[in-house]
Structure 1
Amino acid sequence: MLSAVITLVVAVFGVTGTLLAPMLAQRAQARASQHDFERQQSAARTQWDREQRQESLAQRRACYVATNAAYRRYRVAIMNFLWCSHQGTVTEQERDALEQARHAHHAAFAEAQMIASRPVLDQLDVVTQALSEAYRKTLCLHEGNPDPDGSFDEIRDYLKWLWERWEEMRGVMRVDLGVEDSAEC
């Protein structure tokens, strides 16, 4: 009787194992497939994040190059106009060059406002305000209505000071782009 019970138990376990084996194998395969899918998703997400960071860096770099050039061009145009005004030789060409540089500066600043990091934007705001002030003082001097601190020499000194601010702005841009030697600029 004992051997019959043991045989019956072994038979039940054998049949149960035979019936459950495909389900357990399918379940293990599903878990493995799910794990592979999650690993692939993670790799794809990591790749997408890397591409987004690279694209963002490329956009910021292009924006900073354009902004840097536009700010520099505007400052030089103000200096040229100031010099021509001081010499009494302002022509329509100098006026146009100053206005073109001013508009290019505004366009570059507008783009930077959408792309630049907060530290860079803070520096751009300071330099933009200083350029606007230099432009205003230069036009007032040219029109014969100078500010109390708006002589040729004072505006020239202000533009030299502005160069130092521009170097600070450039340094912040370089740090934002991850350029390591930004302190040596």
Structure 2
Amino acid sequence: MDTSVLLGGGAAGAIIGLVTTFMTQFFAGRHQTREFDRADRVRREERQVEEERARDEQKRADYIALNTASRDFLTALTDLLHAVERTESRQEEREALERARGVHRSRYAEAQLRVPDAVLETASSVNRRLMSLFGMVKRLDNGRAHDGDTFETAQPRIQEIWGLLSKLRREMRIDLGVTER
């Protein structure tokens, strides 16, 4: 039997053709939409990974800068203290100390806004001790020492700060995931 007779002739075939075409386009459109959504999701995930990587690199750079600046500041303080003790000309050490202090202050100010509390707590301890030692060394340098401002009392303070710097470095390494607590 002729199917065109059962379906009402050529009109039915045309309708079936249209429905088939429509369904093919509909399913192709749905497939294309899913592919676009999947590609968009992959792009967002890749962007998120890149942003995390950039944040980690920035944090690492901030930590390196803070560690370096704090160590340089302590070294400059120690150098000036030794020059004062030897009663040598101290202008070069004074200038180096002021430069190191300025860099440390900048790096510490940045850290106050960027680092987690555990790291900031130790960085604050380092900063307070450095600034206290700075005051002592400057008073010794200027010949206006307070009671207790001596070369002998400065040495344990210097060693204490080196210990705090080690603690700070450890806190930063833990935060970076380089080492475990």
- TM-score over 0.5 (shorter chain): yes
Per the alignment, residue 174 of structure 1 pairs with: 173
Q: Which amino acid aligns with 2:25?
A: Q
What are the equivalent positions in structure 2 for 1:132-151 lying under 5 Å apart?
Answer: 132-151=131-150
* Residue 178 to residue 13, structure 1, CA distance change in 2 (3 Å): farther
Query: What per-residue deviation string (whole Å, max 9, x for no partner) do you get for residues 24-61 of structure 1?
Result: 22221121111111111111111111111111111222
Alignment root-mean-square deviation, CA = 2.6
SS in structure 1 of the partner of residue 147 of structure 2: coil
Equivalents in 1 of 2:140, 2:42: separation in Å? 62
What are the equivalent positions in structure 2 for 1:144-163 lying under 5 Å apart?
Answer: 144-163=143-162
Residue 109 of structure 1 and its aligned partner are, at CA, apart by 2.2
Per the alignment, residue 92 of structure 1 pairs with: 91
Residue 17 of structure 1 and its aligned partner are, at CA, apart by 4.0
Equivalents in 1 of 2:12, 2:178: separation in Å? 69
Equivalents in 2 of 1:21, 1:56: separation in Å? 52
* Residue 13 to residue 120, structure 1, CA distance change in 2 (3 Å): farther
After TM superposition, the score normalised by the length of structure 2 is 0.84
What are the equivalent positions in structure 2 for 1:1-185 lying under 5 Å apart?
Answer: 7=6, 17-180=16-179
Equivalents in 2 of 1:12, 1:137: separation in Å? 102
Residue 14 of structure 1 and its aligned partner are, at CA, apart by 6.4
Residue 104 of structure 1 and its aligned partner are, at CA, apart by 1.7
Flag structure 2 segments of 5+ consecutive residues without an equivalent: 1-5
Q: How many pairs were matched up?
A: 177
Flag structure 1 segments of 5+ consecutive residues without an equivalent: 1-6
Equivalents in 2 of 1:36, 1:104: separation in Å? 52
Equivalents in 2 of 1:81, 1:152: separation in Å? 11
SS in structure 2 of the partner of residue 150 of structure 1: coil
Residue 94 of structure 1 and its aligned partner are, at CA, apart by 1.4
Residue 108 of structure 1 and its aligned partner are, at CA, apart by 2.3
Equivalents in 2 of 1:144, 1:103: separation in Å? 23
- Percent identity between matched residues is 26
Q: Which amino acid aligns with 2:172?
A: M
* Residue 8 to residue 97, structure 1, CA distance change in 2 (3 Å): closer
Equivalents in 2 of 1:57, 1:118: separation in Å? 17
